[in-house]
Amino acid sequence: MSDDALVIFTPSGKRGRFALGTPVLTAARQLGVDLDSVCGGRGICSKCQITPGYGEFPKHGVTVHEGALSDWNAVEDRYDRIRGLPKGRRLGCQAKVMGDIVIDVPPESQVHKQVIRKSATERVIAMDPATRLLYVEVEEPDMHEPTGDFERLARALDAQWQVKDVEADLALLRRLQPALRKGEWKVTVALHQGHRDARPRILDIWPGFHEGPLLGLAIDLGSTTIAAHLCDLSDGRVLASSGLMNPQIRFGEDLMSRVSYAMMNPGGDQEMTAAVRQALNTLVTAIAEEAKVEATAIYEIVFVCNPVMHHLLLGIDPVELGQAPFALATSGSLDLDARDLDLTSVNREARVYVLPCIAGHVGADCAAVALSEEPNKSKDMVLIVDVGTNAELLLGNETRVLACSSPTGPAFEGAQISSGQRAAPGAIERVEIDPVTKEPRFRVIGSDLWSDDPGFAEATKTTGVTGICGSGIIEAVAEMRMAGLVDPGGLIGSAEQTGTDRSIPYGRTHSYLVYDGSESGGPKIMVTQGDIRAIQLAKSALYAGARLLMDEMGVDKVDKVTLAGAFGAHISPKHAMVLGMIPDVPLDHVISAGNAAGTGARIALCNKASRAAIEETVHHIHKVETAIEPRFQEHFVNANAIPHAVDPFPELGKVVSLPEVSFNTGGGGGADGGRRRRRG
């Protein structure tokens, strides 16, 4: 009989010969098989569970006999009694190779578990978080070798986990000696390794083996909303997602008005900093409650945000961002202590990572989108549009990537719209207008029924119909245009011109009545001429930014459009294109990426190599400054019209060709300028 045996791991297929008696975990490590272990092979953590296979394996050319692994031992027995081990499973650190064997590594025993993103482009995040739990056994102190307890812990981390030169702050040093003694020189530490040449830092310590949880937050700090994902750092699972309005709105709806507030009011920047930090603490508490975990189990936070929010979060006066040359105080990524940002609700030792900014108007949120969507790895020329209160645009492919930001204002989010409201139950989010009868039907958030479906009134009894949100107003305006209620210049026709009583006089202009709840004390929801102008301004800014990037890139079409942000989540690509928000591409080349900035934050949270990668990538993204570029103004003016008189995607809808109405008798032009009219 041979004194070694063949070991085959599935699903990886890795194989090798090992001396009889070799623990399965050791074999896995030597072959580079992805088999987890937190306790370092001491039969404590059970992370290294494997399933041995017995019998014939023709595919692998091997027969596995009984006794190919050592007998079930006392450690496994104890673990099974106390915590339970699924049937057929063994502990990889205890079971030893005694003959040829096929070993399956179940998904939950793989260290680099994969997190599938809920989006059109499925992406995996390799789990390699900057913060992790490590179990160590420390040498006891000895009068004749008088090193400190910390130095012996550091030596143990080096020997057992190859973590060199750790550091710890005073608060940890204070708790070190009791923890080591209570755990009888066995402890678990939470270790943070920033990606730069920073020394690894011990953030926490527990006597004995500590299973967690060890949590992290990925936060997309927007001008209007703050969105957070609470993740388990051991496997990347999202335990809860939660959002909150940014309380800085009271200082100004958009970024520039907040910069103005800081300029006009001494200490105004500090007021805004305090407000956002307080909101973050509230959000942390809420999300931890939702996930039924302690907020103090949160050891790391990754932030993405635009430059103004970036400075206000850090407590830096954003005044320079309000004037050319829009100099950032710092553009690089940041590794900070959470307590330096007054984030007191998380663990006291929690660390913060802020993604790098690209430029004065193109922030860490755009970097996060680039990390998530990877335009720099695309073969196609892709335009990525992230719409929030500010819009960030990326255009490029594996050769070159450009970026700019565009001041769309908050109209796309339902603000500055007469019946506008935030996306909340009762808000109209979808609109269709019959091109013949000019009658609308709609859906509100909180119900799947259309307003002309039976039971709609009943279904919306509690929420009511309260207003119209960002996606609703975009659909409404596009549908109005397609139904001939609005001309290419954006003017709403009168009842005579449009042939419907829903077009009602409103000052010197007209409005279109979407919903009249006044009989039952509800609102009248209308799209006014002012609403259309607001949408026109916003979409022109967005479109002009895209055109500017295309000019700079020297292309007059793009292969692919990725919609991110509020856009990606809620706005119909078809209606966006009807409005002329984005350049025309075939509808199946439009991809919705959801909250790509938030996804980028999650990637950075779960994988520390991605931090180094995006820090490198941002150096190669060329920023185009819209604020000083005369062509931006030109594109902006030219993009004012809503030229799609014909539904550009008849194959997808039911709308047929329509007469090219014009209510604008006074000339005014612009309907055609700068935009190639597309004909069905």
Q: Give me the residues paired with residue 6 across strands.
A: 17
C-alpha dihedral, 269 to 274 to 278 to 279, nearest 10°: -10
Q: For a second copy, which residue of 28, 187, 202, 328 counts as binding (CB under 8 A)?
A: 328
Smallest distance from a second copy to CB 553, Å: 16
CB contact set of 165 (below 8 Å; sequence gap of 6+): 154, 158, 199, 200
Alpha-carbon distances, residue 51 vs 86, 233, 328, 546 (angstroms): 10, 25, 54, 53
Q: Does 170 bind a second copy (CB under 8 A)?
A: yes
Which pair of tokens denotes residue 579?
């409005």
- Cα Rg of the chain (Å, integer): 30
Smallest distance from a second copy to CB 644, Å: 35
Q: Does 200 bind a second copy (CB under 8 A)?
A: no
Q: Is the CB of 180 or the CB of 578 nearer to a second copy?
A: 180
Q: Is the CB of 197 or the CB of 496 nearer to a second copy?
A: 197
Q: Is the CB of 358 or the CB of 591 nearer to a second copy?
A: 358
Return the range that interacts with a second copy (CB under 8 A); candidates 46-54, 55-63, 121-129, 142-150.
142-150
Q: Does 625 bind a second copy (CB under 8 A)?
A: yes
Q: For a second copy, which residue of 148, 267, 505, 517 counts as binding (CB under 8 A)?
A: 148
Return the range that interacts with a second copy (CB under 8 A); candidates 149-157, 549-557, 563-571, 572-580.
149-157
Angle, helices 529-553/630-638, rounded to nearest 10 degrees: 130
Q: Is the CB of 198 or the CB of 457 nearer to a second copy?
A: 198
- Which of the 8 DSSP states describes residue 165? S
Q: Does 142 bind a second copy (CB under 8 A)?
A: yes
First to last CA, the chain: 78
Q: Does 623 bind a second copy (CB under 8 A)?
A: yes
Say if residues 486 and 480 touch (Cβ distance below 8 Å): yes
Q: For a second copy, which residue of 124, 159, 609, 628 counts as binding (CB under 8 A)?
A: 628
Q: Does 173 bind a second copy (CB under 8 A)?
A: yes
Q: Collapsing DSSP states into helix, strand and coil, what is residue 538?
A: helix
Q: Does 147 bind a second copy (CB under 8 A)?
A: yes
Q: Does 630 bind a second copy (CB under 8 A)?
A: no
Q: Is the CB of 209 or the CB of 326 nearer to a second copy?
A: 326
Q: Does 317 bind a second copy (CB under 8 A)?
A: yes
Return the range that interacts with a second copy (CB under 8 A); candidates 331-339, 412-420, 474-482, 655-663.
331-339
Contact characters 44-63, a second copy, x per CB under 8 A: --------------------
Q: How far apart are CA 121 and CA 455, in angstroms?
A: 36
Say if residues 90 and 49 touch (Cβ distance below 8 Å): yes
Q: For a second copy, which residue of 330, 437, 462, 657 counts as binding (CB under 8 A)?
A: 330
Say if residues 614 and 452 touch (Cβ distance below 8 Å): no
Q: Does 652 bind a second copy (CB under 8 A)?
A: no
Q: Does 266 bind a second copy (CB under 8 A)?
A: no
Q: Does 423 bind a second copy (CB under 8 A)?
A: no
Q: For a second copy, which residue of 316, 504, 555, 637 counts as binding (CB under 8 A)?
A: 316
Return the range that interacts with a second copy (CB under 8 A); candidates 71-79, 99-107, 171-179, 555-563.
171-179
Q: Collapsing DSSP states into helix, strand and coil, what is residue 428?
A: strand
Question: 585: part of which helix (H) or strand (E)?
Answer: none
Say if residues 350 and 362 touch (Cβ distance below 8 Å): no
Largest CA distance in the chain: 101
Q: Does 326 bind a second copy (CB under 8 A)?
A: yes
Q: For a second copy, which residue of 78, 199, 379, 678 counts as binding (CB under 8 A)?
A: 199
Tally: H helices and E strands in the chain? 17, 31
Q: Does 322 bind a second copy (CB under 8 A)?
A: no
Closest CA to 313 of 357, 358, 376: 357
**How many residues of this chain bind a second copy (CB under 8 A)?**
46
Return the range that interacts with a second copy (CB under 8 A); candidates 35-43, 143-151, 414-422, 541-549.
143-151
Q: Give me the residues paired with residue 391 across strands.
A: 387, 406
Q: Does 633 bind a second copy (CB under 8 A)?
A: no
By DSSP bridging, strand 467-468 and strand 427-433 are parallel
Smallest distance from a second copy to CB 315, Å: 6
Closest CA to 603 of 358, 334, 306, 302: 302
Say if residues 226 and 220 touch (Cβ distance below 8 Å): yes
Q: For a second copy, which residue of 76, 100, 149, 647 counts as binding (CB under 8 A)?
A: 149
Q: How far apart are CA 376 and CA 370, in angstroms?
A: 8
Contact characters 336-365, a second copy, x per CB under 8 A: x---xx---------------xxxx-x---
CB contact set of 10 (below 8 Å; sequence gap of 6+): 53, 102, 103, 104, 105
Name the residue type at position 93: C
Angle, helices 364-373/596-606, rounded to nearest 10 degrees: 80
Q: Is the CB of 198 or the CB of 652 nearer to a second copy?
A: 198
Smallest distance from a second copy to CB 331, Å: 3
Q: Does 274 bind a second copy (CB under 8 A)?
A: no
Which residue is associated with the tokens 């995040």? 125
Q: Collapsing DSSP states into helix, strand and coil, what is residue 520?
A: helix
Return the range that interacts with a second copy (CB under 8 A); candidates 166-174, 392-400, 445-453, 665-673.
166-174
Q: Collapsing DSSP states into helix, strand and coil, what is residue 128?
A: strand
Q: Collapsing DSSP states into helix, strand and coil, what is residue 299?
A: strand
Return the range that interacts with a second copy (CB under 8 A); candidates 124-132, 317-325, 377-385, 476-484.
317-325
Q: For a second copy, which residue of 118, 144, 508, 679 counts as binding (CB under 8 A)?
A: 144
Which pair of tokens denotes residue 541?
């800014």
Smallest distance from a second copy to CB 227, Å: 24
Q: Does 327 bind a second copy (CB under 8 A)?
A: yes
Smallest distance from a second copy to CB 654, Å: 47
Q: Is the CB of 362 or the CB of 561 nearer to a second copy?
A: 362
Neighbours of 624 (CB within 10 A): 23
Q: How far apart are CA 477 and CA 492, in angstroms?
A: 10
Burial degree of 178 (CB within 10 A; 0-12, 13-18, 19+): exposed
Q: Does 271 bind a second copy (CB under 8 A)?
A: no
For a second copy, the binding residues (CB under 8 A) are 141-144, 146-151, 165, 169-170, 173-174, 176-177, 197-199, 314-317, 319-320, 324-332, 336, 340-341, 357-360, 362, 623, 625, 628
